[in-house]
Amino acid sequence: MFDIITIGGATRDVFLVSDKFLSIRSKKIPSGVGECVALGSKIEVDQLVLTTGGGATNAAATFASLGFHTATMTRIGDDSTGKDVIDDLSAFGVSTHFVRMIKGGQTGYSVLLTMRDGERTILTFRGVSSQFEQKDIHWGGCEQTKWIYLTSLGGNLALSKKVIENARRCNIKVAWNPGKGELKSGMKSFLALLPMIDILTMNLEEAKLLTGKKHVTGIFKMLQSDGKIRLITDGTNGSHVWRDGWMAHAGTTGVKAVSRTGAGDAFGSGFVAGFIKREDIRYALAIGTLNAESVVQQFGPKLGILKKWPGTLTTKKIKIQTL
């Protein structure tokens, strides 16, 4: 019996840090700001960080580091990159028994061009993690886990639905952090799933995309279900939580970030870990926030993960206000 099984993507992440990566404003760029280098030049990189990423492996590292018996279900290729993912999970004490290695497949790979202020552009190759199938999920007996932490399955909402429905039949608790691929299916596709999701988490941009609402109160009202927890993160502005009409906001301590990659995974998994430990939403908010703040002070989504439970004086640094 595992305490929790995480399901989703796995990648090899390479952080290239240089003060030669510059930002430039242009109306030709969708976001209005681009990251640029001199065309045809050879760029000296100041720092190179090799790590692994993907929602499932990032979350699994948090749970295992905080003492939970953890496994992950993901897809990797039978390449050296896939071996790196396995080695990293094992180093965190995560069971890789359910990891599926695809013969001849390529593991997901991301290169993050990171400026000195922490802003970055991600070049990503999804590899085999973009093609989840039913046989990638271990449909074992109901006794295999107490919780499932479900992340993006490459936009495969139909498979996500089957995982959630199977968990409900087995009385397994579900925390879900859907990706943009799943969210693009629209609110109508989510309505039947909401009563089965114990903890639903996404960032504000994603929540607006799904619901079409601009403000957190309106978003929560569309996502609510009796007794279920809903989370919305908003970067340095903190996070909001809702359950049965009760809403609260958790602030941040204002730590300086060197890289925001993995902050969402760290918050979501930290919150769920805290909630499993105490079933206290305020405590869970503090753990999620502290885990995210620790992660953003390092390059890579796993290097800063909390290795032990913060004490009372530390959790009190996170100010939580009922709204």
What is the percent of the chain with per-residue pLDDT over 90, rounded to a whole number? 81
Q: Which of 249, 308, 256 is nearest to 116 (CA)?
A: 256
Supply the pLDDT for residue 208.
95
Burial of 139 (C-beta count, 10 Å sphere; 0-12/13-18/19+) = exposed
The CATH number of domain 2-23+53-322, selected from 3.20.20.140, 3.40.50.300, 3.20.20.70, 3.40.1190.20: 3.40.1190.20
**pLDDT tens figures, 137-147:** 988 877 899 99
Domain map of the chain by residue range?
Answer: 2-23+53-322
Supply the pLDDT for residue 117.
77
Tokens of 101: 């290695």
- Region 102-125 average pLDDT: 90
Has residue 237 got a pLDDT over 90? yes
What is the percent of the chain with per-residue pLDDT over 70, rounded to a whole number? 100
Supply the pLDDT for residue 37.
86
Supply the pLDDT for residue 31.
82
Supply the pLDDT for residue 304.
95
- Region 51-74 average pLDDT: 97
Query: What is the pTM assigned to this prediction?
Result: 0.94
With a CB cutoff of 8 Å and minimum separation 6, the contacts of 63 are 3, 4, 6, 70, 94, 149, 269, 272, 273
Has residue 118 got a pLDDT over 80? no
- Region 281-289 average pLDDT: 98
HSE (side-chain half, CA atoms, 13 Å) at 193:
27
Supply the pLDDT for residue 85.
96
> Three-state SS string across 86-129, please?
HHHHHHCCCECCCCEEECCCCCEEEEEEECCCCCEEEEEECHHH
